[in-house]
Amino acid sequence: MFDDYFEVFLADTPASKKQHFNVRYQVYCEEMGYEDKTRFPEALEEDQWDDNSVHFIIRHKHTNQWIGAMRMVFPRNELLPLQALCPIEQDNQAQHSQSIEISRLCLIQEIRKRKTDEEPPLALNAQTDAQVRTDVTQLYSRRHINKSLIWGLFRAASLYSQANNIDNWYFLGTKALARVISREGFKMQQIGEGCDHRGMRYPFKVEMQEIINNDIWSENFNNGYRLYSELEQYNAHQCQAA
């Protein structure tokens, strides 16, 4: 199902990174109010860790709307962002390029805030094509779509990690999110005490082998991710052909 409706891109161009930052702006500034949107007049939410990160974005195939984002942050001076907020156990300190932190995992409000699994979404864009509306309604009538989007982003990040010799993922998140992730067989190891950061957050660690070997990938998520630069090249070729 995921591969039929969604695709994940590695934001490897300036334009795609702006799209990633804009999704974050929608979620963290406009929808949740976690960040002061007056600090981002171009509607691009960024911070000091983005130059040290790999960025992913996810879109709906039928409407081409960008609906989610996530980044992988590499250590700077052997420290990850969460270590500035929550002390972690000494034997779980991030080690150079072998570890990353998963952060800025977000889905736009229309995806997150459905009242029931049966409730169809609002129109994702101004398209009027009846078949597109039907596809979108059927899609959002399915259960657990939010988790499916998270797994799609995780799959992309796991393939990137495998190719780049990354051994461990770190998270700063709620225990509720950790339970959701753990139910699918990812062993979330709490590695320190909680801290008050937009509510209580806790540091977690997952070993890459737990992620790569998870049976969930055998059901779907076969496409992994594409480079956004490939999409730009395809669009340019289509314009030239026209």
Lowest mean pLDDT among 29-43, 49-63, 187-201: 187-201
pLDDT of residue 95: 56
- What does pLDDT average to over the chain? 83
pLDDT of residue 62: 87
What would the pLDDT profile of 67-123 be if each residue is shown by its tens digit? 999 999 999 988 899 988 988 886 665 555 589 999 999 999 888 765 444 444 434
pTM of the shown model: 0.84
pLDDT of residue 162: 93
Contact at 8 Å (CB) between 162 and 100?
no
Whether 16 shows a pLDDT value over 90: the answer reads: yes
pLDDT of residue 138: 41
